[in-house]
Amino acid sequence: MPQYKAMEHTALAQPFRRSAAAHALGQNIGLILVCILLIASILAYCGIYYAAQERLPGGFEITSTVNNTMPLVLAALAQTVVVLTRGLDLSVGGMMDLSNAIAAVTLSASLGSMVFWSVAILALGALLGLLNGVLVAIGRLQPILVTLATLSIFQGLAIRVLPQPGGAVPEAYTAALVSTKAPYALLYVIAFGVLWSAFRRTRLGVSILAVGNDAQAARAHGIDLIRTRIAAYTLSGMLAAAAGLFLAANATAGDATTGNGYTLSSIVAVVLGGVSLFGGRGSAIGAMLGAFVSSMIVNILFFSHIDPLYQAFYEGLFLVLAVVLAEAVGRLVRKAS
Amino acid sequence: MFARLFHSAEARRILYAYIAALALFIIGQIVRPGFLSPASVESVLLIASFVGLVAAGQTFVILIGGIDLSVPWVLNAAAILLATSSLGENARTAQALLITLGMGALVGLANGVGIAFLGVPAVVMTLAANGIMEGLTLGLSGGMTCESCASYAPPLVQALTHSKFLGIPSALWLWFAITLLVSIALSATRFGRHTYAIGTNARASFLAGVNVTATTVILYMLSGIFSALAGIMLVSFGGQAALGMGDPYLFQSIAAVVIGGVYILGGRGHYIGSVAGAICLVTLISVLLALNMPEYGRNIIYGVIILLLLLFYGREEEES
Amino acid sequence: MTAKTAIGDMPTPAVEASNVRKAFGGVVALDGANFSAASGEVHALVGENGAGKSTLIKIIGGRLHADAGEVRIAGRKVVLSGPDAAHRLGAWTVFQELTLLTWMTVAENLFLGHEIRNSLGLIARGKLFSKAEQVLADVGIFHIDPRALVEDISLAERQLIEIVRAITQNPQILLLDEPTSSLVERETVWLFEQIRRLCKNGTSVVFTSHRWNEIRTIADRITVFRNGKDVGTFTELGEEEAVTLMTGTRVDVFFPPLPQAPQSQPALSVRELSGPRIKSVSFDLYKGEVLGMGGLAGHGHREVFFSLFGAEPHSAERIEMSGKPVRIRNPRGAVRQRIALVPEDRKTEGLLLPLSVRNNLTLTILRQLSRFGLVRVGEERRLAQTLVERLKIRARDLFVAVGALSGGNQQKVLLGRWLLAASDVLLLYDVTRGVDVATKHEIYELVLGLAREGHGILFYSSDAEELAHLCHRVLVMREGRIAAVLSQPGITAEQIVAAAMREHATV
């Protein structure tokens, strides 16, 4: 087979391999960027804090920052799963409201009640997420419209459950999720990081990325689009419900409206975390780090004596800047390589 | 010139929307006699006009496959800006109107530039703009604690919704005129043709020599202007501005557009449909209010109705 | 190759399709087609575009469901719910449109759906790469890095990966839909080696190609398709015979004669045009000339066309229209300079399918057609009507959606748009691809007619035969440069192909 040899030889003539590390670097540029952003924002925060308080932030500040970020971390995870399939979940905030409201009404101090209701709320979240998924995947409707409609429904349900802010979350519950003694909640973050790395290596994890990358190609590879999409939205609903639980634990009481802002914040965190809004690219770890960056930015604004009324302004501004910069950096890296 | 309107599925959807509006009025009359009285119909239509104005902008951007999520706080900012810049004085009305509409146009311009030139997805760009406007409005008004924040709309502006011409509220005349203008713009102008072309296929339109970026920017500017105009109408109607008054209008404007049969991915639909959608929606809300439905129930029902409509239209889509 | 003699002895074919029907909307793609392929044979499907070959392959590959008829694999009737169902039965397909996931690595793509797992049931990434390296080496591919993102490898490399994906599954049935369209000869030779190796092991290979040489080289049997039906299966078939069967008519003088020699003034002069994938391209296009452009896919033709139309970033020392220097920043600028572009993919880059014939025709001239922004509808209708008659566009009326027209009529609408815009220079990029023979002929006549009227036409085609017969001169591009300029009389397709390939072997 002479021609076959010819192919082999010309191929061998220029064997060009970049190292595994070089590939890893090029393929995880979003994650690297968010790490840099996080370090920079922590340094800036420490600097501003020092200027104001003449000492570095201590255990209390770290613990409260971590605890206050936890709902957003979960919301960002919920958003990531759906964004990776090239969707968008606007109902995250509504789901958090509902979960928060139910938690405030139902949780009592006994262990049994706390476990039962937590599980029940997560299951409800999954069920409502499933509803989103079915409408998107089987109903073949636009994710934005579906989740905008279910956002309205979830918010309505939340207000029905808890018309006025109130209820009480047992201290033990708060201690379990967001201990005020030390930033134990970081353990959850690490656990989610590990779980994501494993999930990314499962059939479903690969399918979610593949569907977001190119739905038709994924289908040709035997990936079930409907099942994958439904699974993603279900998972998202459950994670959003978990975010609502953290919100309740933080506030030690319920409020059926505090979750509203998390839809926007979760999208900000996801974008900061290097997850592509066009699907198929990104990591939940990045999104969690993005959540921390958002919260460091809020801290920085606070210590810069910027009126908290302006918070939404800066969030919006950072969102646009993050998207534009991420796009620009991505293009530069592509050109360089 | 309205040839596009008489084409098949599109026209059918618009017709359905008008039939639904009519049906809702009749249901209203059944659950609460007097619902069909001229005064009652007039007030429903007046409130529908606010939704309808926002929906005009929303129709424009949805026709090119975009969306404007910055409606709530552009509207709210406009209402506050009108009150604070006019201080309730007729003499300052003209300049206040100009400033307010200019603000709407400016936000729309920013949205358009972000989307068309910087490549930011419309959802993200307008969501961010909403946040930016929320922060600015809250911050600059000190959370509505500023001295001028309590100002009333000037009597001239209030007259927009409270005076009548030939027995019909001036605001409805205004809405009618805008409906006419928007319809002509969509059906009979180069701008309208370009809008539909971009919504159908932006790349092909670009390669046909259509100025896609400029058209996109103008469409988002129009959406900003219409949101601001709705804010003016609202402050005219209520007399004073308040925080959160824009919140319902995002959902309602999108709902009106969807009910009116505009295809959410762009390229198909007409403002005539969105008008019917707005009337439908507001009639429904009024019926629910007549039934003493609390807020949570209304939220749930809006959501359910949008989903049902989407499913209904989705099915029709596959058949044709 | 003993397959030919073995066929008669085979009691059950490896794959069999009988009386298969499939329609998309109102368009019938398969109309009672029959087909069967034996184990160990290479079976070529030939036919014109739209004859139903790809549809049949998609049905056997599990990607489409037949409306009627049945598919048997190894003698058993099967209902394929999806590609994975076909995979389980040993049927693997390399589809015409590539199905690799661009944001995943080559290795992940190779093993998508049957990943290597560790003891925890998770995908073992480290092993994935070494295994991928191994798999590629086994089939003689060393130049593709398994860790690279598919996004970053070339079209031909993607095609190779797609093929490797399928052949490493030890398929019982391998379906290849135009696998060679983006491959160079060396890679095609490699593919044929792989096909022969698989056949020896009893795989049944079904494959489509428009290149008769390839079919002659590799196929054991040939089935000809026409209008969604099989019209015959042969072990020996001459090209001319095949074309007759495919078109249903005898091919006589196919290409119209060239019009008279072009005028002496250039319509378009290009000097030192450079940009991504194009290097210092210079040429003159004379009024009344059809200037062909040929060469292998991916060597910069598309970039030249899109740059001249202002749709790609570029730099040029000088571009002149009828002797006047111009700068073209975007398509609007090009339209103003009376340059027209008919892109390769009329459905995604050319036409607005759901919009009416009228709206598609007049889109670029709305500025001239409107007063104070209002479109003068009467005038518009008159112009559109004239054009429909002139180009013999077969449409019910001016308001029917362009998407409802046949491919050839769609192409005419697109050409018509640029005629309305009174373009001096027409950039026609592969305008006859996917167009039926009769319409092809009409388009040739139209192009030459335009040249006769004094338009300058830059004509790219992936079909060298077409270039040889239709153009006054042919520029052959290779690696972003003009590698050869051929002039009539006496341009042959072989000359064009040779110029495109020269030096290629030594690089």
What average pLDDT does chain B have? 86
Least confident interval from A64-68, B177-181, B311-315: B311-315
**Which residues of chain B neighbour A267 with C-beta distances below 8 Å?**
124, 127
Q: Measuring CA to CA, which residue among B74, B67, B50 is closest to residue B130? A: B74
Report the greatest alpha carbon distance in chain A: 82
The pLDDT, as a whole number, for residue C247 is 65
Mean predicted confidence (pLDDT) in A320-336: 77
Whole-number Å distance between alpha carbons of A189 and C198 = 50
Does A314 contact B at CB distance below 8 Å?
yes
Whole-number Å distance between alpha carbons of A52 and B112 = 40
Condensed to tens digits (0 to 9), the pLDDT of residues A102-142 reads 998 888 888 888 899 999 999 999 999 999 999 999 888 88
A2 pLDDT band (50/70/90 cuts)?
Answer: very low
Q: Measuring CA to CA, which residue among B36, B2, B64 is closest to residue B220? A: B64
Give B8-319's CATH code, choosing from 3.40.50, 1.10.260, 1.10.357, 1.10.3470: 1.10.3470
**Which residues of chain A neighbour C129 with C-beta distances below 8 Å?**
20
Q: Measuring CA to CA, which residue among C245, C243, C57, C98 is closest to residue C181? A: C98
Mean predicted confidence (pLDDT) in A242-262: 88
All structural domains of chain A: 26-336 (1.10.3470)
Q: Measuring CA to CA, which residue among C389, C369, C377, A285 is closest to residue B184? A: C377
DSSP assignment string, A170-216: -HHHHHHHH-SSS-TTHHHHHHHHHHHHHHTTSHHHHHHHHHHH-HH
* Residue A219, min C-alpha distance to chain C (Å): 7
Q: How far apart are the first and last CA of chain B?
A: 24
pLDDT at B149 over 80: no
The pLDDT, as a whole number, for residue C235 is 84
List all chains that touch chain B, counting a touch as 3 or more CB pairs closer than 8 Å.
A, C
Whole-number Å distance between alpha carbons of A122 and A230 = 16
Does A176 contact B at CB distance below 8 Å?
no
The pLDDT, as a whole number, for residue B168 is 82
Whole-number Å distance between alpha carbons of B316 and B128 = 34
* Residue B141, min C-alpha distance to chain A (Å): 9
Nearest residue of chain B to residue C381 (CA atoms): B1
Whole-number Å distance between alpha carbons of C217 and A281 = 43
Mean predicted confidence (pLDDT) in B50-61: 94
**Which residues of chain A neighbour B124 with C-beta distances below 8 Å?**
267, 271, 277, 319-320, 323
Condensed to tens digits (0 to 9), the pLDDT of residues A256-311 reads 888 888 988 898 899 888 898 888 889 999 999 999 998 998 888 888 878 888 88
Number of other CB atoms surrounding residue B245 within 10 Å: 18
* Higher per-residue confidence, C304 vs A311: C304
The pLDDT, as a whole number, for residue B101 is 94
A253 pLDDT band (50/70/90 cuts)?
Answer: confident
The pLDDT, as a whole number, for residue B317 is 46
Mean predicted confidence (pLDDT) in C99-126: 83
Mean predicted confidence (pLDDT) in B23-39: 85
Distance, CA of C6 to chain centre: 35
What average pLDDT does chain A have? 86
Question: Is the alpha carbon torsion for B63, B64, B67, B73 positive or negative?
Answer: negative
Inter-chain CB proximity A156 and B298 less than 8 Å: yes
Q: What share of chain B is helix, strand, coil (3-state, %, to 5)?
A: 80, 0, 20
Nearest residue of chain A to residue C62 (CA atoms): A220
Burial profile C431-451: b = 16 or more Cβ within 10 angstroms, e = fewer:
bbbbbbbebbbbbbebbbebb
Mean predicted confidence (pLDDT) in C7-30: 75
Mean predicted confidence (pLDDT) in A50-78: 89
The pLDDT, as a whole number, for residue A292 is 94
A7 pLDDT band (50/70/90 cuts)?
Answer: very low
Whole-number Å distance between alpha carbons of A221 and C85 = 11
Nearest by CB to A271, which of B124, B130, B136?
B124
A8 pLDDT band (50/70/90 cuts)?
Answer: very low
pLDDT at C50 over 70: no
The pLDDT, as a whole number, for residue C25 is 61
pLDDT at A150 over 80: yes
Condensed to tens digits (0 to 9), the pLDDT of residues A164-200 reads 888 888 888 888 888 888 888 899 999 999 999 999 9
Q: Strand pairing partners for C371?
A: C374
Does A164 contact B at CB distance below 8 Å?
no
pLDDT at C63 over 90: no
**Which residues of chain B neighbour C421 with C-beta distances below 8 Å?**
209
List all chains that touch chain C, counting a touch as 3 or more CB pairs closer than 8 Å.
A, B
Inter-chain CB proximity A144 and B123 less than 8 Å: yes
Q: Measuring CA to CA, which residue among A137, A140, A119, A126 is closest to residue A78? A: A126
Least confident interval from A130-134, B299-303, C8-12, C325-329: C8-12
Q: Where are the domains of chain B?
A: 8-319
Q: Write out the two tokens for B3.
A: 């040839």
Q: CB-based burial of residue A157 (10 Å sphere; 0-12 exposed, 13-18 middle, 19+ buried)?
A: buried
The pLDDT, as a whole number, for residue C376 is 83
The pLDDT, as a whole number, for residue A196 is 94
The pLDDT, as a whole number, for residue A159 is 92
Are A132 and A91 contacting, i.e. CB atoms less than 8 angstroms apart?
A: yes
Q: Measuring CA to CA, which residue among B241, B203, B257, B303 is closest to residue B57? A: B257
The pLDDT, as a whole number, for residue C250 is 44
Q: Strand pairing partners for C76?
A: C73
β-strand pairing of B164-165 with B168-169: antiparallel
The pLDDT, as a whole number, for residue C253 is 43
**Cα C154 to Cα B292, C113, C161, C193, distances in angstroms:** 65, 23, 11, 22
Condensed to tens digits (0 to 9), the pLDDT of residues B224-273 reads 999 999 999 998 888 777 888 888 898 889 888 988 888 878 888 889 88
Q: Strand ranges (DSSP E) for C38-172?
A: 42-47, 68-73, 76-78, 91-94
Q: Write out the two tokens for B245.
A: 């008054």
Please, what is the Cα angle at B70 between B67 and B71, to 5 degrees?
Answer: 90
Percentage of residues in chain C with pLDDT exceeding 70?
Answer: 92
Amino acid identity, position C218 = I
The pLDDT, as a whole number, for residue B275 is 93
Long-range (24+ apart) CB contacts under 8 A made by A330-333 are A330/A29, A330/A30, A333/A26, A333/A29
DSSP assigned state of B151: P
pLDDT at A239 over 90: yes
Q: Which residues contact A328 (CB under 8 A, 6 or more apart)?
A: none
Mean predicted confidence (pLDDT) in B151-174: 81
The pLDDT, as a whole number, for residue A334 is 65
The pLDDT, as a whole number, for residue A15 is 52
What average pLDDT does chain C have? 82
- A71 cis-preceded (ω within 30 degrees of 0): no
Whole-number Å distance between alpha carbons of B44 and B119 = 40
* Higher per-residue confidence, A87 vs A28: A87
The pLDDT, as a whole number, for residue A71 is 94
